[in-house]
Amino acid sequence: MKAKTLISVVGPTAIGKTSLAISLAKHYSTEIISADSRQFYKELKIGTAVPSEEELLAAKHHCIQHISIFDHYSVGDFEKEAIAILDNLFQTNDIAILVGGSGLYVDAVTNGLDDFPTVPSSYREALNKTLEQSGIGELQHQLRILDEAYYNKVDLENPHRLIRALEICMATGKPYSSFLRKKDVKRPFRTLTIGIKAEREIIYNRINQRVDIMIGNGLLEEARQVYPHRTLNALQTVGYKELFNYFDGTWTLDFAISEIKKNTRRFAKRQMTWYRKNEGICWFNSDDDPSHILEGIDDKLTESTNG
Helix (H) or strand (E) holding 11: none
CA distance 145 to 70: 32
* Residue-level pLDDT at 183: 63
DSSP string for residues in 204-247: HHHHHHHHHHHHHHTHHHHHHHHGGGTTSGGG-STTTHHHHHHH
* Residue-level pLDDT at 151: 93
| Residues annotated in a binding site for ATP | 11-18
* Residue-level pLDDT at 104: 84
pLDDT block averages, 10 residues each, the chain of length 307: 87 94 96 96 96 96 97 91 97 96 88 84 90 92 95 85 93 90 80 94 96 98 97 90 96 98 92 83 92 90 73
* Residue-level pLDDT at 48: 96
* Residue-level pLDDT at 156: 87
Phi, psi (5° rounding) for residue 97? -115, 135
* Residue-level pLDDT at 1: 47
* Residue-level pLDDT at 244: 97
- What is the sign, positive or negative, of the torsion defined by CA atoms of 146, 152, 154, 156? positive
| Residues annotated in a binding site | 11-18
Task: Domains for the chain: give ranges and CATH numbers.
Answer: 5-113+183-306 (3.40.50.300), 121-179 (1.10.20.140)
| Residues annotated in a binding site for substrate | 13-18
